[in-house]
Amino acid sequence: MSDGLFADDGILDKEPIAFPHIRRADVMWSKRMWREIDFRQKMNQPFYFPVNSHNNWRSFINVVLDGLKVGEFTAYDISATDELLTPITYQEIMDRYESERKETFQRDVEPYDDYDTVIRETFDPTKVKRLRIKEDWYFDKQRSQLMVRIIALCPVIMVERGNQEFSEPMFWISYEQARPTLAKAAVFNRNNSAERRTYDEVFWKRLFDSYVYKEDNVYDRAINDYMTGLDAMLESERIKMEMFQFEHDLWEY
């Protein structure tokens, strides 16, 4: 029995679009930027939902963790640097966010003595509410275009410490290495369910909203290291407008 207009096994068999070839001699200018996508924004909600995977619909973090679990690509430790240097396994990631604790309870019936219970906290993918992107902008003089290429992705989880919630980056993955997996994972399209859009296409077409939290600088510091609150937001917008103005000035005459 078909549960829809036609029989559909829910499997996507897409290949990622090939990156355009880049010659080092053609790159006359480049700048590295780091962005953050907040899944709570309306445009970015397809990254977060569905909370419970069903059919071929999975949230972004579940797609990534499933790929790591079967070894389709590699995760890299973020404790020291945002470079892809130190590989970590799926189990090491789970061990960081799963824990066991012992609590003492008292029986409600006789004998009224105390007993210990081990409570295991498993990893909760719904706490991953942000995604960091490391990308390179460059001007290709062969094509006469200002172009961008995503280099790596980093899920960010919300953790509680002292009754306060903090964001904590989990690990980096190479975007290029993860593309074959992302190209086979469907994303909900709120405008047209017949268009089977994938996570790779979302990144390729830049169908997300984000803000800049760091750019290349001599101090190697993020915006929040020298500005806070509204000033940090304005600094992020200044960086984005500076990029826009740079591209505009290339063609001004």
The terminus-to-terminus CA distance of the chain in angstroms comes to: 64
Measured distance CA(78)–CA(172) in Å, rounded: 7
Question: Which pLDDT value is given to residue 168?
Answer: 94
Identify the domain containing residue 129 by its residue range: 24-250
Q: Closest Cα partner for 36 from 186, 208, 229?
A: 208
Contact 179, 147 (CB under 8 A): no
In a domain, 11, yes or no: no
Residue pLDDT, tens place only, 129-140: 999 999 999 999
Query: Do residues 132 and 154 lie in contact, with contact meaning Cβ atoms separated by under 8 Å?
Result: yes
Q: Is residue 8 in some structural domain?
A: no
Residues 139 and 149 sit within 8 Å (Cβ to Cβ)? no
17 lies in a domain? no
Question: What one-letter code names the amino acid at 60?
Answer: F
Task: Determine the angle formed by the axes of helices 90-97 and 60-69, rounding to 10 degrees.
Answer: 130
Sequence-ordered list of residues with C-beta below 8 angstroms from that of 50, at least 6 positions apart, any chain:
57, 58, 59, 188
Give the residue-averaged pLDDT of 67-80: 92
Report yes or no on 160 lying in a domain: yes
Residue 100: is its pLDDT beyond 60? no
Query: Across-strand partners of 35?
Result: 133, 212
Q: What is the pTM of this model?
A: 0.89
Q: Residue 76 falls within a domain, yes or no? A: yes
**Which of the pair, 60 or 11, is modelled with greater confidence?**
60
Q: Which DSSP string do the residues of 209-249 spell out, in sequence order?
A: --EEEEE--TT---GGGT--HHHHHHHHHHHHHHHHHHHHH
Q: What's the pLDDT tens digit per position in 169-220?
A: 999 999 999 999 999 999 999 889 888 899 999 999 999 999 999 999 999 9
Query: Is 9 contained in some domain?
Result: no
Is residue 3 included in any domain, yes or no? no
The tally of domains found in the chain comes to 1
Token pair, residue 25, equals 């001699």
User: Quick check: is 205 in a domain?
Assistant: yes
